[in-house]
Amino acid sequence: MNYLFMDWSVRDVGLKEVWTLKWHQQFGTAGPWTKAGGVQPSDWPNWMRNAKDY
């Protein structure tokens, strides 16, 4: 996926990487859907399990 950021930069962002981006100053980037938050591959829906982990 391509994302446009507020600084007008554009880059590829992985499907599961969305949960690790700092969207807001109070958003926790180590939430439950990240490796740091302890998510397991089996926790993702079947259609997302093959996407790269972040």
**R_g of the chain computed on alpha carbons:** 12
Quick: pLDDT tens for 2-54: 999 989 999 999 999 998 998 889 988 888 998 888 999 999 999 999 999 88
Dmax (CA) for the chain in angstroms is: 35
Q: For the chain, first and last CA: distance in Å? A: 15
pTM: 0.75
